[in-house]
Amino acid sequence: MSDTDLASLATRTVNALQTNTNFPDLNPPFTEYESAALDYVARQAITANGRASGMQKEEKDEARAAVLKLMRAVTSYINNFTEISSIQLSSGFLPANDPKRGRAPDAPTWTRIRRSNRPAEILLGFEAVREAYQYEMQIAEKLDEQGKPLWRSLPLISDSRGNYYAPVTDGVRYHFRVRSLNRHGMSAWSPVATRTAWVD
């Protein structure tokens, strides 16, 4: 869950539980949960504009870990307290997805090859997919008899940013594609990006 989504959930659950009489003996107590939730919301707001200091980001991450720990305890109490879904949902928390309904991730909708600041290197960029745990990248610098790329797989990665390929040869045309993976399967391949390498 992103920081923005978590802050929204924290605010919604505090508002829902504040006057909620369905859970008279909430454990942990509402005051403890409210304090941690509002602390996280405040620190997330400070870092949301991207101009926060390193210390402010660390404080936000610590507040995030604290509120997640309390959220797990609160939802565990609610689930053990009653099986009536309408009462559970009055807490502001959302029902968990049925794990049987999980699906393979979508494919990235775009890819890009850019020059790097370092010689004989290209940067490989693509759209991040929220449901993906890993990505498989493939690159080709030769074509077969039908003019199709002869793909080679690169090591699996977990981030769509900061990926590079080296060494490249000046004047060679490189082709790049990627697909997403999670525990439910893998996506189709992304569109192919193509660029001729230019080595100073």
Pick the CATH number of 111-196 from 2.60.120.510, 3.30.70.20, 2.60.40.10, 3.40.50.970: 2.60.40.10
Quick check: 112 and 34 in contact, CB under 8 A? no
- The predicted-structure confidence for 1-42, as pLDDT tens digits, reads as follows 788 889 999 999 999 999 899 988 898 999 999 999 999 999
**Helix and strand totals (H; E) in the chain:** 4, 8
User: How buried is 145 (Cβ within 10 angstroms: 0-12 exposed, 13-18 middle, 19+ buried)?
Assistant: exposed
- The predicted-structure confidence for 157-166, as pLDDT tens digits, reads as follows 998 888 999 9
DSSP of 105-155: PPPPS-EEEEE-SSTT-EEEEE---TT-SEEEEEEES-B-TTS-B--EEPP
Predicted TM-score (pTM) of the model is 0.50
- The predicted-structure confidence for 38-61, as pLDDT tens digits, reads as follows 999 999 998 887 788 888 889 999
- The predicted-structure confidence for 76-114, as pLDDT tens digits, reads as follows 999 888 888 888 889 999 877 554 556 889 999 999 999
